[in-house]
């Protein structure tokens, strides 16, 4: 008998580790299938959320989809070749507002939406990015 030592079953350890993972990012192979943004456009993958509440209640697929449509967070997949290079809008010594693999905030109705396998992506203009964030779960709530 082990006294004073807490033994956690492996299935609970695995579940705890899964809950502590960072938000999932798209696989690189699916990134190759995405269109290349032209000009000053940025390709964004809207954040879908975890599919359950903080208390562990699983949300119906319809609710998750509705939240994804209304989200204002996304993951930058690709940046067009002219993004942030307009000296009139961004000044001569510009610093890009975002880059690939950043999490960003944008306007709810910003950009053009189109369906892809497994969801939806958006094409936004470079000046429609409002802020960058570290983790989209820090600002989302249901």
Give me the pLDDT at residue 89, please.
86
Model confidence pLDDT, tens digit, residues 96-115:
889 999 999 998 889 999 88
Mean pLDDT of 66-81: 80
| In the chain, where the domains are located | 25-138
Q: Superfamily for 25-138?
A: GroES chaperonin (2.30.33.40)
More confident of the two residues 86 and 119: 86
Instruction: Give the total residue count for the chain.
Output: 142
Model confidence pLDDT, tens digit, residues 121-136:
999 999 999 999 998 8
Question: Rounded CA gap, 21 and 40, in Å?
Answer: 33
Q: Reply yes or no on whether the pLDDT at 47 is more than 90.
A: no
Model confidence pLDDT, tens digit, residues 6-19:
555 666 566 555 55
Sheet with 112-116: list strands edge to edge. 112-116, 119-125, 41-46, 73-79, 103-106, 129-133
């Amino acid at each position: 008998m082990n006294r004073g030592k807490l033994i956690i079953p492996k299935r609970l350890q695995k579940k705890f580790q899964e809950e502590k993972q960072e938000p999932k990012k798209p696989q690189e192979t699916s990134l190759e299938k995405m269109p290349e943004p032209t000009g000053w456009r940025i390709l964004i993958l809207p954040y879908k959320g975890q599919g359950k509440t903080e208390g562990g209640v699983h949300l119906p697929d319809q609710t998750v989809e509705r939240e994804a449509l209304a989200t204002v967070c996304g993951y930058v997949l690709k940046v067009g070749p002219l993004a942030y290079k307009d000296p009139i809008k961004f000044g001569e010594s510009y610093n890009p507002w975002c880059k690939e693999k950043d999490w960003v905030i944008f306007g709810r109705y910003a950009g053009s939406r189109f369906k892809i396998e497994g969801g939806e992506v958006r094409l936004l203009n470079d000046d429609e990015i409002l802020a960058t964030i570290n983790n989209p779960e820090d600002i989302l709530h249901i």
